[in-house]
A and B are shown apart, each in its own frame.
Chain A
């Protein structure tokens, strides 16, 4: 059976080639960017617009910033015929989900003769495929690191933690000496929890012969989840306040000087700059790779974004040309810089500029040890919509029986990941 989205896309292509005259008169192209508008970002897009107008002087760029959590609602509106983009940013773990919803245009044909693609991280390029077809082009990526208050560590004469045991010890020490919570273990934080699971040799889910199998009950995964929830319930180094919350709550507390350590991406520094009362505090925040159980850094989820072309765009050719400007070796790293991420080109990771800041140095190191979540559009339903792992974490941290909770969550995860995508 042919995919509806494929059918739609091919019809669109026919339609587009049939009325190529409309291609020549694009007055404006709309770009959807995820996250908040900042001056640097606006400036970046002004630069892109200038580059684009070298070829098409009559075309202006409309850039709209969409908050991450409103992505699905905005997409609903766009698909329903409302305000729609031509080029859009897609969370790299959501490409499959959006492609399955028919929101993205097939890019195989366009991307075939675009050389830049060959220099990108090929794993990330593959992650932009859905059922073998390219829908998303890697734009930037980022990984999470462990932020910590370097000044407190110096005061107490302790080193940043490199193992789980040290994490608990240092957090406990900060709590007793500095009278502030030592670590934040928010439960709505799949991207962070996954590092604990992977570093312990566990998996969230595995695929065999096309069938997904949830792995939340495997002993390695179970051990990691027990450790993570234990940070709140047993060791009591993470306050109960983070139960049911995501990492943004921890970010606020870190910026307020009310927290010793927490896990977040390199973009967090910019966000803290906006929230902090005392800018000097930021100079005391340093970063180190997320510790694994026995002293090795944990593998991290290669978060980040892809670029896609909206399926119902009136100017597919033009939109893709714009996409190449955003994603090429100038535009990609350019945006990675303003958004505090890393470019999609591995050759650039050893760049000097990433070694200057402790946060980016730790992250650049971690970028070499990345993993991805299950590559199925259903991952989005499992994680963003049903919140299976965060929900299980929440229940365990509230004191419910982990065996029962994980058993149930694992069944739900397995059945969700295997749901038929029409």
Chain B
């Protein structure tokens, strides 16, 4: 969260940092002097900018969520938007559709995060053991997946899973019936939540695991080999040495990657927009999709409700982040 240095009392963490940065014997009592010391002056422009582009829109979003607000309030001489208090929130929390969407979002996000982390870690371990030239080849292949524009990747997967013309259905149809059943050429992947979300998870994991793999690889390079030797001498296999050596050593890295993945995967929108092809099928909404639908696609748009859902989502993300940061700080592992 960005804070304006002039107005906000520094939070506890920065208090400690701050006492460290003030020169000893300096004018401790005079707050202004302390604020005007070089470090603060140096970060002031960045803070002001962050406040302007990040913090202010968030304040606006919260503000909007308490109003009945639509296009007709946008015109220069239109009536002001109506204050409705927490109406949007009570509507939202008593709406079964919202809870279904929230449940789906959590489940889909969970599946994405778990699969991405597991696959990314395994590939990272693999890369670490491959000879150099070979790991370069695998690395380049992964980079291509990672570098593919999201829209292109989604379009390609959408084509792969088309019912009558898609490669996947043709392959499934070619496989023996006792293995996969029959009727695949008629199978619709993009109507029901389960198949659609499966394809969605596939796209996300395919594009996200290279980042994890390379980060894990970088982390592995920093672990001294002696530790593994010691583990081997003590009779640990690969499984045991991963949990006893690698994981504890890379815990901060994993924690960071996990938070990033959760935040990124909660916000998935583009891929779903392409797979679902519009907003007619409410059963495949995710939270981010619901926000967009309410705020921009609905006719007339419902900016207030859209903002309210966005606030709920922001609180969720901040909650997850804060929780992890606290754990990490407590363990003194933020270095």
Contact = CB atoms under 8 A, between A and B. Distances in A.
Contacts, number: 91
Interface string A55-87: 000000000000001001101100111000000
A76 B301 contact: yes
A385 B71 contact: no
Given A76-B296, A97-B299, A312-B76, A188 B280 contact: yes
A32 to B, nearest CB: 15
Contact of B188 (A81, A94, A241, A391): A241
Interface residues of A, number: 38
Interface in B160-219: 163-164, 186, 188, 190-192
A385 B74 contact: no
A96 to B, nearest CB: 11
A381 B71 contact: no
B70 interface: yes
Contacts of B76: 81, 312
B280 A102 contact: no
Contact of A81 (B70, B72, B74): B74
Given A8-B77, A394-B280, A73 B297 contact: yes
B77 A385 contact: no
Q: Main secondary structure on chain B at its contact with chain A?
A: loop
A130 B301 CA distance: 19
B282 interface: yes
Interface string A326-347: 0000000000000000000000
A314 to B, nearest CB: 11
Contacts of A100: 72, 300
A215 to B, nearest CB: 21
Contact of A243 (B70, B79, B191, B297): B191
Interface in A371-418: 380-381, 384-385, 387, 390-391, 394, 398
B270 interface: no
Contact of A385 (B75, B192, B297): B297
B299 A5 contact: no
A380 B299 contact: yes
B281 A394 contact: yes
B283 to A, nearest CB: 9
Contact of B164 (A11, A79, A241, A387): A241
- In this complex, the member of B75, B79, B186 whose beta carbon has the largest number of chain A beta carbons within 10 angstroms is B75
Nearest to B76: A312
A240 B186 contact: yes
A103 B186 CA distance: 44
Interface size class of B (residues with CB under 8 A): 20 to 34
A69 B296 CA distance: 12
Interface string B48-81: 0000000000000000000000111011111100
Nearest to A383: B299
B71 A76 contact: yes
B300 A311 contact: no
A12 interface: yes
Contacts of A4: 72, 78-79
Contacts of B156: none
Contact of B77 (A12, A79, A244, A394): A12
B298 interface: yes
Contacts of B75: 8, 79, 102, 311-312
Interface string B297-324: 1111100000000000000000000000
A105 to B, nearest CB: 11
Contacts of B70: 101
A101 B258 CA distance: 44
A69 B279 CA distance: 11
B77 A241 contact: no
Interface string B263-286: 000000000000000111110000
24 contacts: A4-B78, A5-B72, A7-B77, A7-B79, A15-B77, A69-B278, A72-B298, A72-B299, A79-B74, A80-B71, A81-B74, A97-B300, A101-B71, A102-B71, A240-B186, A241-B164, A243-B191, A244-B188, A244-B190, A244-B281, A381-B300, A384-B299, A385-B298, A394-B281
In the A-B complex, list the 8 residue pairs whose CB atoms are closest, starting with the nearest: A102-B72, A79-B74, A387-B280, A79-B71, A101-B71, A4-B79, A72-B299, A385-B299
Interface of A: 4-5, 7-8, 11-12, 15, 69, 72-73, 75-76, 79-81, 94, 97, 100-103, 188, 239-241, 243-244, 311-312, 380-381, 384-385, 387, 390-391, 394, 398
Given A72-B298, A312-B76, 20 more contacts: A4-B78, A5-B78, A15-B77, A72-B299, A75-B71, A76-B71, A79-B75, A81-B74, A97-B299, A102-B72, A103-B71, A240-B186, A240-B188, A241-B186, A244-B188, A244-B281, A311-B75, A387-B280, A390-B280, A391-B282
